[in-house]
Every structure is written in structure tokens, then in C-alpha cells.
Structure 1
Amino acid sequence: MSRKTKAIIIGAGPAGLTAAYKLLKTTDIHPVIIEETDSIGGISKTIDYKGNRMDIGGHRFFSKNQQVVDMWTELMPLQGEPAKDDRMLGRSVPLKKGGPDPEKTDRVMLIRNRVSRILYLRKFFDYPLSIKPATFINMGFKRTVKAGLGYIRSAISKRDEHSLKDFMINRFGEPLYEMFFEDYTEKVWGRNPGVIDASWGEQRIKGLSLSKAVLSVLKKPFVNKNNTKNVETSLIKTFYYPKKGPGQLWETLAKEIEKLGGEIHLNTKAVGFNVKNGVIESVTAEKDGVKENIEGDIFLSSMPIKDLVRALGSGVPQDVKQIAENLPYRDFITVGLLLKKLKLKNETNLKTVSNIVPDCWIYVQERDVKIGRIQIFNNWSPYMVKDLENTVWIGLEYFCNEGDSMWNMSDSEFIDFAVGELCKMDIIDKDDVLDATRIKVKKAYPAYFDSYKDIGRVREYLDTIDNLYCIGRNGQHRYNNMDHSMLTAMEAVECIRTGSKDKSRVWNVNTEKEYHEEK
């Protein structure tokens, strides 16, 4: 190996893998990835259960950053032509008619229709909310009048945005906030939006509002469909998706990294760092109970900030330790459910296999159940389902805290509980359940309350460590999507390549208020 400078990368998720790939492509630095688990992709991995594939949390591949899109399509070519209203890309991408045949190759990216709806009052509402007769019919006359008056009131008198509640009411009005946002958000975070920092809204739903949703409908006949500069991401109608789920792309990238000479060590946990005079000299890595010091010149961390600060040891100031230790996270449970059929009828004009509903996601706003979302994997990619013609493969998503009552249920108890909730909502019959599995994910979502308000102090300290770069969702304690996690890695590599000491460009990814999507 001719490479002399070594970069130690903590985590084999989108950020860590992107960092390694870019280092190999643009520098002579040798990347070494250490990953705590036995899999590639972080929470963007795909789980194979008896031939049916599960996407943990759902990952749409969309970005307004062309560098990200180019990397995706470099690794996995696109299949087919763009949909007529494809607004995903920063510029149009020329495609050969037909593209690669997905039946003949696994390494292909599909173009998918984006359909997400809200289940509320046991009825479907478009997400984002649309101005259609069906919306008002489903809401009923009294709710519609109340919502309209509430929106007018919010447009006339704006709140100071101290919380996520203030942020949402300013954009939708209080009645719509209470109907479509409050309960779902509380399911996700376990806290009322009134105590969640408003910056969560700035990073997740940014400029989206009811007025922009209406304006997008009015402007639709007159806009250039390939111009996405001023299109809210939550209004985008199509997205890209790897044939066999998001993990397929990250597994492809991992193989490419190793082919180019990079190293990836699974089941290897970073448990400590040796810091001297503001520089990390080595990481203590543990595998199978054996610890080893791995020396490096540069360190890129996508591990949770809480764990990173703890691993940095006794030299960390006490206030930084306390803030980091109290940073909150939300954990995640998903149940994969294989069914003969759904009871929900497809009453849209969209065609689907076996005439199931067309949704990728269904947001469950109902107050009498704990389930947050329902994924229908058939609609993400037909190759996610072993028997596409005769079965429906869905994911039931729950948000919880490690150690709480839901987390501590046995797998069989929790599956019975989840099936019962779907039966209660008349979505399935219990007799139609063919098989089920349960997956638990720790620290899936960095949360924006408790000590989060003081995270600037933690960042300030971490930036004093000259050769440390914090990247990715957990590495920055920021609720990023994949493209922004990748961009933090790209910016870090650019700093390293150019010798820049300005780490603000890494931290500032996804602080613009132009676009994003509430997941």
C-alpha cells in the first residue's frame, strides 16, 4: 500500500462510506472504516427476511445536489425514462430510452412514483395536504370552516417561533396543526411539539406551508418541470430507488471502496480515543472482546455525539460532557408483516399490482393507536417482495425509547399488539397474516429537546480537535436525510483535500431553509 496518510472513519453508513469513497477518488489518503454492527448502510440498510426485503424507515433517493445524484447514478445506473413530472433533480439527466433492464441486472436504480397519504378519521388525506374537494368532504363542513378561519388567523398574526408548535401553526393555522400534525409528531418524538425546538421544522419541513402547497397547484401548468430550484421537496412527485432497497446501493459502494484499496472492518466498535495536544493519535477499537489501538492521521466520526464525547475521555470539559450525555434520541421498532391482502381499497386512479393502495407510506394520525406509519414495500419496488402477485409485504413503524414498555415487549407480544392495531383500524384481517418479524433500532432519530439547545457548546469543543470531522446524522446530532449526510462527508473530504481548517462548511450542510421533507 503506497498510501501513507491514514483516515480512520467511524461508521459504515451513508456518511462514512461516502467519505471513504471520496478520499480514494480525490486524494492519496488510505481510509479505514470501523463499523460496530455486522452490516453496511446504518439505518439505510435493507434487511432480507425469507426473501422479502425491508427498508428501515423508508429512504427515498432524491436530492437537489447534483454531486450526490451523480454519485448515486454512477454506482447504480437509472432504468427507464423520467416520469413526466419528475422534479427530483437539480438539472435533467439524459437517459437512454428503456435504460438497463432490471430483469437482467440487479445493479439498477428505478424511478418510482411518490405517493404518501395521511390516515385520519379512518379516511385518506393527501400528504402534503391538497386543496381538493375530497379533502373538504373528508374533513366535513365544520372542520373545513374552522381550518380556513384558523389559517387566515395565522396568516394575519404570526407567533414568535420558540417551538415546533409555533413553527407549524404559523404555516398551517392552529386547527390544521391539531388535526394533522400534533398527534403524529408526539408519536414520533414522545414529546408535545410545544417543547421541541423550532429548528427541527426548519431542517425537516423548511419552507413548506399551506400557501406553498396551494401555489404549487396553481403554478403547475406554467412551470418548467425540470426546474426544481423553487420546488419544495415535500411536493416532489417522483424519486429514485435501488431495485432491492437502499441497502443495495450502500453494499455496492462498500465493494467499490474495497476494490479501490480501502478497508472496512465490521463488528468493530470505537470505544476510546487517545487525544494529545488537541490531536487524536489513535482510536481504541474492540472486536470480539479484544481491544486494539489503531493509529491514524485523520478521524471522521459518524457515531452518536453522546458516544463520541464519552469515548474522548477525561480531557473533555465537564459542561460538554453533561450536554452530550443528555442529548436525546428516539428509538425505532418496525414489524414486517406478510399478508394475503389488505382490506384497504384502491380508490385512486393509480394502477398497482393486485390493485392494492398505491402508497409508499401511510402516516397514521389516528389518536387511538400507537402506530406511526405503514410502509407498503410492494410500492417501493416490486423486487422487494418474494411473491408480488399473491402477497402484500408491509412495515409497521413505531417510535419509542429504549427500555420503555414497547421496547421491552417480546417479539411475539409486540407483533400481536401491532396486528391488533391494524385490525382495529380495519386495515387487515388477522386471518390474512402469513408471517411476521420485528426489528429494533437504537438511536434512529436525533431529537431536538432537553440539552439540544446547548449543542453549540459541544460543537465548539469538538472543533478544537484539529484532525476530527463530525459527519452524518448522528455524527452531528442532526435529523438529516441521506443526501445531506453524504454532503457532510463530501465537505469534510474537501476540507481535508484542500487543507482548509474551516469546519463550518461541514456543520452548515442542511442549515439552509430551502427544502427538505418531514419523514
Structure 2
Amino acid sequence: MKKVLIIGAGPAGLTAAYELLDKSKDFEVTVLEESDVFGGISRTVNYKGNRMDMGGHRFFSKVPEVNEWWEKMLPTQGAMPFDDIELGRTSTVKDGGPDPEKEDRVMLRRNRLSRIFFNSKFFDYPVSLKFDTIKNMGLGTTIAVGCSYMKTVFHKREEKSLEDFYINRFGKKLYSMFFENYTENLWGRHPSEISPEWGAQRVKGLSIRAVLKDIFGKTFNKKNRVVETSLIEEFAYPKLGPGELWELTAADFEKMGGTIIKNAKVTKIIKDADNKVTGLAYVKDGKEVQIDGDYVISSMPVKDLVEGMNDVPEEIAAIATGLPYRDYMTVGVLIPHLNLKNETKTPTMGDIVPDNWVYVHDKTVHMGRFQIYNNWSPYMVEKIKDTVWMGLEYFCNEGDWMWSMTDEEFGKMGISEMVKMGLIDNESDVIDYHVERVKKAYPAYFDTYEHMDDLRDYLNTIPNLFCVGRNGQHRYNNIDHSMCTSFETVKAILAGSTDKSAIWNVNTEKEYHEASSESEAQK
């Protein structure tokens, strides 16, 4: 029986582990997880009955295989969840599906709303051309935005940077209002210093042109119109947060005979003279343990993977060492009331604004975004009728001034910024708070990233090593793309293939330009 070692119990690692045992009985599969929880950045943190989603995770995919997998693991709701019942709202239900009021293993259907908070006003994201947008911008600014965009229609910039990418799709005026400062806050670098590839993978086909196309598609009821991921209006979401999916996957994997070793930090990848991986070493309880394997599937940061290898060429090691990341800190804040007025037509519990998350474009604060967990799932909040449970999100670098704050210092900073932004009146309004940190949350697209192809080519020379997921490929993957890298890896292993091109081709710019009808995307 062949031994497969999988590094990391996040979406990519657990998907690969489950798929291997589900598709074949010829493998002994062991997952090594550095922490004691499942899901990686997609985990759910339970703090006194209030659940936090690390970064916010909408479940929506254009890939039928992914949607079928989610449906198998967490069936779509067959009845309305608590808040929809209370408010008389409607959402998609599936005949015979579980009732979220009675069962936990259920995928909710939620309305999508994300907006930009700029100059103390809300703007739709993606930017819309509604009357409210024009009203909030002012007629003069709206005209300037339109003229700026028309200039880019006739004079495209050569896309050498993320700045060029944004300006080509939104015009310089809109870019300076809604993208420039936020992007610099997110990455700690000006967009002119960042590869345009990040935009190709994250902003996808979104542009003013795409927004106009979507508006006209709705207006004229165009059938089978293409829906960009950023324009979806409803998404799936696990009842108890994204971590629920991975906790269930891990439990099912173990029932199938798989092994998971928690608190096991992988430190070495052992290669033989033929450049094949023969096993790895991990540290648990202060002791180093070596384990043999026929295959290694890695979702750990590729920087750490290569640094732990023996006999790596100097130039390849230098590329890996120089790969940049952005770290993430968040503070969950429990309050009795949120000051922001709900001026939408969507009814909500406590009449709070209905946003899932809000992008903060305010140079006077460090906050990058805030989530309202009440709107993700009513089951994320212990007292949904009486409290608002929020997540204030910040982007930083491990070891910098923000990361070096104590939890108390960081929590107080976040709460003070809530007051400054008018989200609450006083710091004393806060009932409780909780801080979480995530290292290497976002693989970044600058520094030695320009040589990533050389690093990938080297990794591909190791026949029985497969790199999957966001950090495993140093690519800003969504959950579905991370899962797809694992689907392709399992197919390759089952076929006895060492061709990894299909694995690395997941989530490339080409895929984003491929049409997928609305009906296909929402199967």
C-alpha cells in the first residue's frame, strides 16, 4: 500500500485527503497539521458562542465538480434559517434539504452585499450606476469618473503593474478613489509595485464594462448571461461558518481510515539522490519525528517547503526565501447596537446594515475591512436578536508594529477606530472582544515572485511532490480553486502521472475569460 503524506489540514489538504480515500483503497493517507484546528484561514473560531470567519468566505463556484462536492458534504437548506423566518425574507431552498433550525449539517443560501465605506458614505461594490452612487459622489465627480473611464477605452495602458490593470478597467479617477489606498493598505505596497497578475486572479473579469453588461443583462432579461464571481447576488454558506465544512471533512476522512496528526509542524522535506521525496520530518511536543512516504502533497507555504528541503540549487532557494506574504489580524467585537443606518430595502435583525463585509476607504484609520457576522449566518451569533457581532480586519507583516501589539492594545485600537468612524458612540459600548492572528494569510505578488515560474519548474522536477492550495502554489486562490488543485493532484496520483501542468493551470487568467452561464455557475 502506497503512503501519501499531506502537509496542512486546510481546504486543499483535506480535499486531497478525502478524495484519495474516496476514490481508492490503495493508499495509506496521513495529514500533518501545524495547529490544533482545521480549515487554515478558512477556519471558524468559536468565542463564547460567537463565531468568527477568518477573512470572510463566500461559497460560490463556476466549477460543477466543486458545487457537487459541497452539496455532498453540506446539503443545501430545505427550509428557511432563523433570520429569514423572523423577517419574512426569501432565499433558495432545495426540496428535501435539511432544516437549519433542526440540523447543523446544512449549507445556507445567503444574499450577497459588500459595499465600500468612503467619506462616511456607502458605495456599492462592484461600483454600480444607481442614483445613490451618483448622489453620493456628486454630479461633478460622476462626470469626472465617466470622462476618466472613456479615456481608458481609447488609450489602454501597457499592463506592467496592478495600477495599470485597475486604471484600464475603471479609469484613473475611480481607481484613485476606490482602489489605490485600499490596495496599498492590504499589501503594504503601492499598486504600481505589484504584479498585474494579482488583479487577473482576484478582480477577474470585473470592470465598468462588465458592470454595464450585467445591468443591461438584467434589464432585458438576457438568458444564460455570464456572471462574474464578484457580481453574484446569492451564495452558499455553512450554517456554522466555513470551518464547519473542514471539521466535517476531517471527521469523515478519519472514519474512512485516514490519519490526522495535529500540532505537527513540518520542518524537513527529505529527498534522495534521484531527487525523489522519501519522507519528511515534523516537530510535535518538542520532539522531531521522521516519517516515510511515497507521495507528498504540500499546502504549506512554498517558501517554508523549499527552505526545509535538502540539495536545493542556490538560485531556487533564493527565490523561495524572497517570496513575500501579508499577514492578517482581526478583532471580533460584540456590541448591542451598530450606528450605521440601514437605508437599503433589505430587512435585517435589529435593522443593521445588511452587508456581509464592508471595505474601509478611510486614510485616517488602519482598518481595511469589517465583517458583520450576523449577516453571514444567524447561527454565528449567540444572541442574534440582542447583539451585533463584528470582525474588524487589518493587514500587516509579522513582526511589524501592529503585529507586535498585545491583544489588548490591538483590540483597543480597533475599538477606538470604530468610534472614529461612527460605528459606535463610545468605547464603553463594547460588551466583549477577541483577537485572532493569521500568519502568511495572503501570498503577495512582488519581490522574487517575478521568478515564480523558475521555482515552479524546479518543484516539478520532483516527481512525487505535489503543491496545492493558496500557499502551496503561492497563488491567491479562493476555496474552490484550492480544492481544484487537489482534485487534479488526486487524478494525477491515481493515474500514476508526474505531469503537474493541470494542477498549476488552475486559477490562471485564461480560466477567468472562459464563459460560464449563470445556470452552470449555480448548479
TM range (shorter): over 0.9
- Partners of 1:513 and 1:121 in 2: CA distance: 36
1:265 to 2:261 alignment: yes
- Residue 125 and residue 80 in structure 1: after superposition, are their counterparts in 2 closer, same or farther (change >3 A)? farther
- Partners of 1:453 and 1:514 in 2: CA distance: 21
1:462 to 2:459 alignment: yes
1:9 to 2:6 alignment: yes
User: Which residue, 195, 198, 205 being the options, matches 1:197?
Assistant: 195
User: Which residue, 36, 39, 43 being the options, matches 1:41?
Assistant: 39
Residue 367 of structure 1: CA displacement?
1.4
Amino acid at match of 2:189: R
1:22 to 2:46 alignment: no
Which residue of structure 1 aligns with residue 86 of structure 2?
none
8 Å Cα contact 1:207-1:514 kept in structure 2: no
8 Å Cα contact 1:328-1:450 kept in structure 2: yes
Which residue of structure 2 aligns with residue 87 of structure 1?
none
8 Å Cα contact 1:205-1:515 kept in structure 2: no
Which residue of structure 1 aligns with residue 520 of structure 2?
none
* Higher alpha-carbon deviation: 208-217 or 424-433: 424-433
- Partners of 2:142 and 2:72 in 1: CA distance: 48
8 Å Cα contact 2:5-2:295 kept in structure 1: yes
8 Å Cα contact 1:119-1:125 kept in structure 2: yes
**3-state DSSP class of the match of 2:55?**
coil
Residue 221 of structure 1: CA displacement?
3.8
Which residue of structure 2 aligns with residue 115 of structure 1?
113
Residue 501 of structure 1: CA displacement?
2.2
- Partners of 2:209 and 2:119 in 1: CA distance: 24
- Residue 199 and residue 283 in structure 1: after superposition, are their counterparts in 2 closer, same or farther (change >3 A)? same
Which residue of structure 2 aligns with residue 350 of structure 1?
346
- Partners of 2:455 and 2:130 in 1: CA distance: 47
Aligned length: 500
Amino acid at match of 2:285: D
Structure 2 counterparts to residues 17-96 of structure 1, below 5 A: 17-27=14-24, 28-80=26-78, 96=94
Amino acid at match of 2:489: A
1:481 to 2:481 alignment: no
**3-state DSSP class of the match of 2:354?**
coil
Amino acid at match of 1:178: S
Which residue of structure 2 aligns with residue 178 of structure 1?
176
8 Å Cα contact 1:232-1:514 kept in structure 2: no
Amino acid at match of 2:447: D
Which residue of structure 1 aligns with residue 438 of structure 2?
441
Aligned-CA RMSD value: 1.5
- Residue 224 and residue 297 in structure 1: after superposition, are their counterparts in 2 closer, same or farther (change >3 A)? farther
- Partners of 2:397 and 2:229 in 1: CA distance: 29
8 Å Cα contact 1:206-1:514 kept in structure 2: no
8 Å Cα contact 1:80-1:111 kept in structure 2: no
Which residue of structure 2 aligns with residue 373 of structure 1?
369
- Partners of 2:500 and 2:220 in 1: CA distance: 41
8 Å Cα contact 1:44-1:246 kept in structure 2: yes
**3-state DSSP class of the match of 2:163?**
helix
Structure 2 counterparts to residues 159-178 of structure 1, below 5 A: 159-178=157-176
**3-state DSSP class of the match of 1:107?**
coil
- Residue 473 and residue 412 in structure 1: after superposition, are their counterparts in 2 closer, same or farther (change >3 A)? same
Which residue of structure 1 aligns with residue 505 of structure 2?
508
Q: Scaled by the length of structure 2, what TM-score is found? A: 0.94
Amino acid at match of 2:182: Y
- Partners of 1:340 and 1:428 in 2: CA distance: 10
- Residue 376 and residue 515 in structure 1: after superposition, are their counterparts in 2 closer, same or farther (change >3 A)? farther
Structure 2 counterparts to residues 357-368 of structure 1, below 5 A: 357-368=353-364
* Higher alpha-carbon deviation: 50-59 or 23-32: 23-32
**3-state DSSP class of the match of 1:244?**
coil
- Partners of 1:96 and 1:199 in 2: CA distance: 38
8 Å Cα contact 2:339-2:422 kept in structure 1: yes
Residue 365 of structure 1: CA displacement?
0.9
Which residue of structure 2 aligns with residue 138 of structure 1?
136
**3-state DSSP class of the match of 2:402?**
helix
Which residue of structure 2 aligns with residue 497 of structure 1?
494
- Partners of 1:24 and 1:219 in 2: CA distance: 43
Residues 489-515 of structure 1: per-residue CA shift (max 9 Å, x gap): 000110111122210110010003454
- Partners of 2:216 and 2:393 in 1: CA distance: 34
- Partners of 1:380 and 1:300 in 2: CA distance: 32
**3-state DSSP class of the match of 1:406?**
coil
- Partners of 2:307 and 2:213 in 1: CA distance: 48
Percent of paired sites with the same residue:
55
Which residue of structure 1 aligns with residue 125 of structure 2?
127
**3-state DSSP class of the match of 1:390?**
coil
Residue 224 of structure 1: CA displacement?
6.0
8 Å Cα contact 1:207-1:513 kept in structure 2: no
* Higher alpha-carbon deviation: 391-400 or 275-284: 275-284
Moved over 2 A (4+): 80-83, 94-99, 221-225, 512-516
- Residue 224 and residue 157 in structure 1: after superposition, are their counterparts in 2 closer, same or farther (change >3 A)? closer
Residues 279-333 of structure 1: per-residue CA shift (max 9 Å, x gap): 11111111111111111101100000110001112x1000011110010000000
User: Which residue, 398, 402, 409 being the options, matches 2:405?
Assistant: 409
- Partners of 1:514 and 1:12 in 2: CA distance: 26
User: Which residue, 216, 228, 231 being the options, matches 2:227?
Assistant: 231
- Partners of 2:76 and 2:150 in 1: CA distance: 44
Residue 82 of structure 1: CA displacement?
11
Which residue of structure 2 aligns with residue 86 of structure 1?
none
Residue 116 of structure 1: CA displacement?
0.4
- Partners of 2:18 and 2:207 in 1: CA distance: 37
- Partners of 1:363 and 1:339 in 2: CA distance: 20
- Residue 98 and residue 389 in structure 1: after superposition, are their counterparts in 2 closer, same or farther (change >3 A)? farther
Residue 197 of structure 1: CA displacement?
0.1
- Partners of 1:364 and 1:472 in 2: CA distance: 28
User: Which residue, 134, 144, 151 being the options, matches 1:153?
Assistant: 151
Which residue of structure 1 aligns with residue 249 of structure 2?
253
- Residue 60 and residue 328 in structure 1: after superposition, are their counterparts in 2 closer, same or farther (change >3 A)? same
Which residue of structure 2 aligns with residue 451 of structure 1?
448
8 Å Cα contact 2:80-2:100 kept in structure 1: no
Structure 2 counterparts to residues 330-341 of structure 1, below 5 A: 330-341=326-337
- Partners of 1:328 and 1:137 in 2: CA distance: 40
Q: Scaled by the length of structure 1, what TM-score is found? A: 0.94
**3-state DSSP class of the match of 1:343?**
coil
8 Å Cα contact 1:203-1:513 kept in structure 2: no
Amino acid at match of 2:334: L
**3-state DSSP class of the match of 1:483?**
helix
Residue 96 of structure 1: CA displacement?
3.9
Residue 464 of structure 1: CA displacement?
0.6
Which residue of structure 2 aligns with residue 88 of structure 1?
none
User: Which residue, 277, 299, 302 being the options, matches 1:302?
Assistant: 299
* Higher alpha-carbon deviation: 392-401 or 271-280: 271-280
- Partners of 2:412 and 2:247 in 1: CA distance: 33
- Partners of 1:63 and 1:231 in 2: CA distance: 11
- Partners of 2:96 and 2:73 in 1: CA distance: 18
8 Å Cα contact 1:372-1:398 kept in structure 2: yes
